[in-house]
Structure 1
C-alpha cells in the first residue's frame, strides 16, 4: 500500500519529464526545420517559341534579386528551382504539383495561358502562391481569379491599351485582327475590340491562326483586302515579329498600319529598326528610362549579355517583394505571406508605390514606347522612345465583382 501511495507522484514526475522531453524534441525539430531552404520556383518556356520573352533571362533576374536580398531569409537559405513546361499544360501542372508537394512555397513566371489557368486552381488546392510574370490573360483577375494568384507584370488589356490610344488619335479607326487561336489571342481580340469600339472605331473582320503557324500569307491577303486602316496582331510575341516581316514582303505598310499588340523589346531587337520602326509597345519598363533602370540593365547585361525586357526586369521586383513579405511575416506560411505582399508597397527600380488589388492585379504605371527609326538610334540597344504614360487606374480595367468574387 505504501508503494502504491508513491505512484501518483512518481507518475506525475514521469509525465512532466516526458512533456519536457517532447517539448525539447519539438523545439529541436523546429530549429532544424528553420534551416531548411526556402524553395521558390520558375516555371517557364525555357527552350521553345517564347523562351526569349522570359525563359533563361528571367532566371538571371530572379538570381540577382536573391543575391541582393542576401541569399537567406529568416535564417534559411533561399533555393531557386527552374523547369521548362514546354508550353504543355500536362507537363507544366505536373511539374508544379511535384514542386508544391516537395515544399516549394511560390512559383513565378508561367507564361502560356493554358498552363496559367490550371495554376490558379492548383495553387489554391495546395495552399501555395503563384506569381505571374509572362502570362498576359486578363482572365487571371477576372473569371479565373484566385486568392493565391498574383498577376504581376502586365496583362493583355494594358498591353493593348497604349497602342489603341495612340493609333485612334491618328484617326486609324477601322481594325482587322490576326488572332492566335487559343485563350490568350481570343482574350486580346475581345479586350481590344471593346477599346476600339469605345473610342469610336469599327472592327471589319478577323482571322485565326494555329499556335504553330509560320506562314501567314493567306491571312495577310485577307487583311489587305479588308481595307482596314489597322491590322492588329492579337498573337504571341514570337508570332508578331514573323508576321511583321511577312507583311513588309506583301507591301502592307504604309497603306495599312500594323499594331503588334504583344510586342516586347526582344522582338524589336530581333527584327531590327529598319523593320520595327514606328511599331508601338506598352510596357511598365524600358532599360533606358532613367538612372535606376539603366543601373539594373547594366548589371543584367554583364551577367546575361542582353538588355532585360519588361518581363525579365519585373522578375527581380517580384522575387524581392515576395522575400520582403516572408521576412515581414516572420514565416513562409502562405496566408501570412500573401497578406504581407498585399499590405506592403511595391518599390523597386521600375515601380514606385505599386499595390496589389484584392483580385490579384498589381497596379503600376504603364508607358507607351515607339520603335525608333534607324537613324535615331545611337547604339545596339537604343531601340525606343517614350511617347506616353498611362496612370495605373487607367492602364488596367477596373475590378469586376460580377466575374471575380475577390474584386471590391
Structure 2
C-alpha cells in the first residue's frame, strides 16, 4: 500500500495534469490577458450623432470580423463619454493608459484632442482621431503617437469652397464658433478662398452654447456677401441653416455649411438641406462595398453610417492587423506597422499615413438632393466631384511639424 506522502504527491501530479488539459482545450483568446482599446467620445451631448454610440457599433463590427482576439488575447473595447470637457476626457485617457489600454480612438472636440497629443506621448501609447477635425493635429500640435484618420477641417471645406468659387461665388462672410475648431476652420478656409481668387468681407463669432443666431445672420445679410460660410461644429450648422431660411437668406445668398455631415442632412430634411454640400471620404450609397457595410451597420444600429462611423471600422481593423503583423502590442512596433501598411477597406484603396500623422485618402463632394430626387429615407446625396488624396489635404509643413521633415 502506498504511503500518505506518495498518495498526496500522485494527487498533486494528477491535478496539475488536469489543469494543463483544461487550459490546453480553451480557445486561444481565453488564455491571454485582454488587448484593451478605447473609444473616447461625446456619447450624450450635442455632437453625439456625429460619432458617439454609432461609432461604438462600427468598432465592435471590426473586432468581430477580425475574430475577437489577437496574439492569443481577447480584444476588449472600453467606451467613455468625455462630456465635451477637457478635464473629464483627459482624466479618462490617463487612467485608461495606466490600466493597459494600448490605443484610444475617436475623441471629437478639439480641446480634448489637443490634450490627447501630449498624453499619448507622455504615456507612450497611440491615439487615432476619427471625429476630430482640427488640422493643428498634424501641424503645430503634431505627435509621433497621433494618427489623424478620417478627415480634417481643410479637406472638409475644400470641396465646398472649390465648387462655390467655380460658380462665381467669390465674396464670403464667416459665422464662426468661438473656440479652437472654429478658429482653425475660418483660418484655413480663408486661405483657400483667397488662393482661389475670392475675398472675405466680414465675420462674426458666436459662443459654443449659442442657440439664437439672429444678430449674426442680420450682419451676414447686410454684408451682401455671395456666400455665408458656417465655420461651426456639425450641430451648430443645422440650426443656423434653419434660422437662415426663416430670415430669407436663400436664394439671395449661398450657405456653405463647412462641417455638414450625413446625420445633419437627415435631421434637417431635404426640403431644408437641398443644395448644401458635404466633402467626405464616404457615403453609404457610393458602390457595392459601401452599401454592403451600410446594410450590416443599419441592421445593427437602425441608421446608415456617416463618414466617421464608417471610418471607425477601417481604423480598428488597421490597428489590429498591425498588432498581428508586429507580433506585439508595443507602441513603437505597432505604430511602425500601421504607417508602413497601405490602408485598404470598403471606403479607401491604398491609403497611407504621412510622417505627420495625416491619413491620405481621396475625398468626395456630395450635394444634398432635392426632395423629389430622393428614392428613400436615406437617399440623401448625389456625388458631384472627387478630390485626389494629394489635393484633398494641405501639404505637410515642416515649419509647423518637425515630423514632416
- TM-score normalised by structure 2 residue count: 0.93
Residues 36 and 77 of structure 2 are in contact (CA less than 8 Å); yes or no, is this contact kept in structure 1?
Answer: yes
> Aligned with 2:175: secondary structure?
strand
Secondary structure, counterpart of 2:249 in structure 1: coil
Segments of 4+ moved more than 4 angstroms = 31-34
Equivalent of 1:158 in 155, 158, 172: 155
Contact kept, 8 Å, 2:110 with 2:181, in 1: the verdict is: yes
The residue correspondences of 1:264-279 to structure 2 (distance < 5 A) are 264-279=261-276
| Matching of residues 8-407 of structure 1 within 5 Å | 35-407=32-404
SS in 2 for 1:352: strand
Q: Is the 8 A contact 2:368 2:381 kept in 1?
A: yes
Kindly report the root-mean-square deviation, in angstroms, between the aligned alpha carbons of the 2 structures: 1.1
Any idea what SS the aligned residue of 1:120 has?
helix
Distance 1:243 1:170 in 2: 23
Q: Secondary structure at the match of 2:290?
A: helix
On the 8 A contact 2:30/2:73 being kept in 1, the answer is: no
What secondary structure, in the 3-state scheme, does the structure 1 residue paired with 2:378 have?
coil
Q: Which residue of 2 aligns with 1:20?
A: none
For residues 68 and 31 of structure 2, the distance between their equivalents in structure 1, rounded to whole angstroms, comes to 15
**Structure 1 residue aligned with 2:16:** none
Return the alpha-carbon distance in structure 2 between the equivalents of residues 191 and 355 of structure 1: 23
Aligned counterparts of 2:403 and 2:222: Cα–Cα separation in 1: 44
| Separation of aligned partners in 2, 1:339 and 1:209 | 41
Deviation, structure 1 residue 32: 11
Equivalent-residue separation in structure 2 for 1:211 and 1:320 (angstroms): 34
Q: Is the 8 A contact 2:29 2:74 kept in 1?
A: no
Q: CA deviation at 1:406?
A: 0.2
Question: How many angstroms does 1:34 deviate by?
Answer: 7.0
Secondary structure of 1:184's counterpart equals: helix
Unpaired runs of at least 5, structure 2: 1-27
Q: CA deviation at 1:220?
A: 0.3
TM score, norm. by length of structure 1: 0.92
Any stretches of 5+ residues in structure 1 without a counterpart? 1-30
Q: Distance in 1 between matches of 2:194 and 2:158?
A: 12
Aligned residues: 378
Return the alpha-carbon distance in structure 1 between the equivalents of residues 278 and 361 of structure 2. 16
